[in-house]
Amino acid sequence: MSSKPRKWKMRIQHILDAIAENLSYTDDISYAQLYQDQKTLKVIVWNLTVIGEAARHIPLQIEVDFPAVPWAKMRGMRNHIVHGYAQIDLEIVWEVVRNELPPLVPFLQEILEKAVEQ
């Protein structure tokens, strides 16, 4: 077995880990609290970058097989953060973390489960 399949599976796990960490940081705070907490905000933005970077390394066939995962949006968020960091819209960050990331978890877990079966 080559290392390439293992690497993309590891990337899926990185995405899951980053989502879990972001959710743990935002579980019991409000948007206003996050806005005031620069340390937490930077960790959350970093994790969004990790998610997008990991999504860049997912094979095209996995993207095709799992179209419910917004692979392009994940990469796009990373690109916006990295290349436009001075213009990050914190309301969008909040919306993504609170409402868009949680539904991805079952899909990403399914990808890992099916990858193990192969």
Q: Which of 57, 80, 83, 98 is catalytic?
A: 83
Q: In this model, does residue 116 exceed pLDDT 90?
A: no
| pLDDT the model gives residue 4 | 62
pLDDT digits (tens, 9 = 90+) for 16-31: 999 999 999 999 999 9
d(CA 42, CA 40): 5
- Residue 68 makes CB contacts below 8 A (sequence gap 6+) with 107
Identify the band that residue 2 occupies on the pLDDT scale cut at 50, 70 and 90. very low
Q: Given pLDDT bands bounded at 50, 70 and 90, which one contains residue 1?
A: very low
Which listed residue (57, 78, 80, 98) is catalytic?
A: 78
Confidence of residue 118 (pLDDT cuts 50, 70, 90): low
Gap between the Cα atoms of 110 and 4, Å rounded: 19
pLDDT digits (tens, 9 = 90+) for 95-109: 999 999 999 999 999
Whether 78 sits among the annotated catalytic residues: the reply is: yes
Sign of the torsion formed by the C-alpha atoms of 13, 18, 21 and 26: negative
Q: What is the average pLDDT across 40-58?
A: 97
